[in-house]
Amino acid sequence: MARFDPYENNGGTCVAVAGADYCVVAADTRLSVGYSILSRDSSKIAHLADKCVLASSGFQGDVKALQKNLAAKELVYEHNHNKKMSCPAMAQLLSNTLYYKRFFPYYAFNVLGGLDSHGKGCVFTYDAVGSYERTGYSAQGTGAALMMPVLDNQLKSPSPLLLPARDAVTPLSESDAVDLVKDVFASATERDIYTGDKLEIIVINSSGSHRECIELRKD
């Protein structure tokens, strides 16, 4: 009997780390189905606004549809308001877009990173139906369970229940945060067959954004 099964998990891992005046967003470039690698150079990262970057893993068809949808809405916002959408505004838009499709969800697990209106790094992490939280760091995808313990150990944020509220941004310098991201990906690539090939890193700060690629293991 035929089953309607529109989803496929194409694997991969995304990480974002926010600092006092920067944000690092990174993802691998492997696209696979089961034990087959379909592409070794498929980017999971999309620039949505001036200082706002989205990294998504999950089903590649839904990821591309979601990124296209958000880019169109951001363009309409820019024409209507004559300014780029801020990162927290994009975070809310992404949440609304995912929740709108909650009965037939985008099979995409998202991390949004950038700078807020005060120039401070911000990271927003999502589930598939739009529930989100602002944190100092996050990981999504098939290697997230391997990476989060390391990130927790190195960057552990104070509890959001503590009063007065503490700052969630990480204490590391920009270069240290980039080195940490490289380390967690090198480690996860050893254990997760869906993560590998290349690591794409976007660093966003007050002077703009720059991209860096490094090789990961290919087997």
Q: Which residues contact 43 (CB under 8 A, 6 or more apart)?
A: 27, 29, 200
The torsion angles phi and psi of 22, rounded to 5 degrees, stand at -150, 165
How many other C-beta atoms lie within 10 A of the C-beta of residue 4?
4
Q: Is 65 helix (H, G, I), strand (E, B) or coil?
A: helix
Task: Assign residue 53 a region (left: φ > 0; alpha: ψ between -120 and 50; beta: otherwise).
Answer: beta
DSSP character string of 144-209:
HHHHHHHHHHHH-PPPTTSSSPPP-S--S-HHHHHHHHHHHHHHHHHH-TTS-SEEEEEEEETTEE
Residue type at 213 in one-letter notation: C
CATH of domain 13-216: 3.60.20.10
Predicted local distance difference test score (pLDDT) of residue 156: 77
Q: Report domain extents, the chain.
A: 13-216
pTM comes to: 0.91
pLDDT tens track of the chain, all 219 residues? 678 888 999 999 999 999 989 999 999 999 999 999 999 999 999 999 889 999 999 999 999 999 999 999 999 999 999 999 999 999 999 999 999 999 999 999 999 999 999 999 999 999 999 999 999 999 999 999 999 999 998 887 666 677 776 666 778 899 999 999 999 999 999 999 999 999 999 999 999 999 999 999 998
Is residue 160 reached through a cis peptide bond, with omega within 30 degrees of 0 on the bond before it?
no
Predicted local distance difference test score (pLDDT) of residue 169: 72
